[in-house]
Amino acid sequence: GAVAGMRPARAEALVPNSWDEITSYNNFYEFGTDKGDPSRKAGALTTDPWSVEIGGLVDRPGRYDLGDILAKVSIEDRLYRLRCVEAWSMVVPWQGFELADLLDMAGVQASAKYVAFETLLRPEEMPGQRGRILDWPYVEGLRLDEAMHPLTIMATGLYGKPLPNQNGAPLRLVVPWKYGFKSIKSVVRITLTNTQPPTSWNRYAPREYGFYANVNPTVDHPRWSQATERRIGGGFFAPRVATLMFNGYGEEVAGLYADMDLAAEF
Amino acid sequence: MTGVQRVNIALARLPTWPVYVAGMLPAAWAVWLGATGGLGVEPINALEDRLGLLALQFLIAGLAVTPLRRWTGLNLIRFRRALGLVAMGHLVLHLTVWLVLDLRDWGLVWADIVKRPYITVGMLAFALLLPLAATSSNRAIRSLGPLRWRRLHRLVYLAVPLGGLHFVMQAKGWQVEPLVYLATILGLLALRVGVTRARIAA
């Protein structure tokens, strides 16, 4: 509800990618490194029952059942651009609720500065976790003001249907102005901290993946340019398009980074 | 007469042109799939990857010819030129897709070659293979002389591992498949080291 009247940048021009595109082309290394692995291998993931352990600097720590959470929040449609760090992008019609609502349920203490997230660790259902490509479980983090921002949501659905497993069922973060890897999937733990939490890709290759990971066409990934991106679904003949600062959400979020050197804190 | 000898005699009667035709079929198939939606929703990247991988597979097949003959007696030397040129055909397509469908800009191509180590390594591998492709005709062998020709073609021992390294470096994370390819290439080269030393000693 807090974004009522706030129109995400260029929203009128956004055309969502198809269900097939969004659910067949995924990075979810818990199921394998190929883009097709998640849709092929995520079927066995048990997403019900599901709960989220919320802890750290909160007034009401504990295990929050997903059903109880959903009873207390209002689910909204959010049509967002998704820009992958690999320089491709989609437009996704999510359903979800603001992360701020969930954090308010737990009662964030005044000393909290960051929010740490953790993905489910269940190698028997997530075959990629049997390999050591990343340190499992996958972890991500946001600064508290980023987490409380009205554009930041926990998604539960796609195209009006429950979130498919390969897209991070049953509950995933979506932070539309950051590279896709920040939007951690299948979240089971949220911890409020006063120090910057470690994040999986940053731990793996700090030169390549920063903590902030804001979409920024002027700061290249060491292995490729971030100035342009390819829209999924364009086929052979669609040219690359220019990448927008903060993925086009600068009007809403640039203020969060007013005093920062975004080339140094990328 | 052993089975391998019989196979060798049968192979010696075969023409080599079908290797070129059959060898380029996977590329044609990949382009067809990409154009018709068979490579998924991101066909340009998928086609780039697949053509590069096919090139590497043909280069590895070429590297395997000598050890195969030495350890099993199977003689595929007659087909090695075709394997190498088919690999080159896939590499040219790999680079064409990169330039024409992906980046569409010589300036971006050059910037990538200079700035991105995995692309620098890949281009170096390609550059090392160019003189080999250019001297693959019988006439070139005659005019260079067999000794110089053979020396020149040892560049393949540098180019193919660089190609394997390019595959490892472009992946996000240490992925198993590229590492298996690189290990295979290094293994095929290692099989030669001992033999060459023995020959020099003898």
Q: Kindly list the domain boundaries of chain A, sorted by start residue.
A: 11-257
Q: What top-level class would CATH report for the domain A11-257?
A: alpha beta
Does the beta carbon of B51 lie under 8 angstroms from any beta carbon of chain A? Answer: no
- How sure is the predictor about B1, in pLDDT bands with cuts at 50, 70 and 90? confident
Q: What residue of B is the nearest CA neighbor of A222? A: B116
Q: Report yes or no: B78 at the A interface, CB cutoff 8 Å.
A: no
Alpha-helical (H) ranges within chain B are: 3-13, 17-35, 43-72, 77-96, 106-115, 117-134, 138-144, 146-153, 156-170, 176-201
Contact A220, A227 (CB under 8 A): yes
Closest CB to B101 among A33, A233, A236: A236
Instruction: Judge whether residue B63 has pLDDT over 60.
Output: yes
Contact status of B113 with chain A (Cβ, < 8 Å): no
Q: Exposure string (b/e) for A50-79, b if CB count within 10 Å is 16 or more?
A: bbbebbbbbeeeeebebeebeeebeeeebe
CB of B38 within 8 Å of a chain A CB? The answer is no
Q: Which chain B residue has the Cα nearest residue A33?
A: B175
- Determine the Cα–Cα distance for residues A88 and B134; give it in Å rounded to an integer: 37
* pLDDT at residue A223 greater than cutoff 50: yes
Q: Tell me the average pLDDT across A120-133.
A: 95
The token duo for A41 is 């291998």
pLDDT for the residue A4: 41
- Token readout for A249 is 């959400």
Structure tokens at A55: 């802890």
- CB spacing of A33 vs B115 below 8 angstroms: no
How far does the CA of residue A173 sit from the closest CA of chain B (Å)?
Answer: 22
Flag whether pLDDT at B119 surpasses 90.
Answer: yes
Best of B41, B98, B116 to substitute, by most chain A Cβ atoms within 10 angstroms, is B41
Tens of pLDDT, residues B3-42 = 899 999 999 999 999 999 999 999 999 999 998 989 989 9
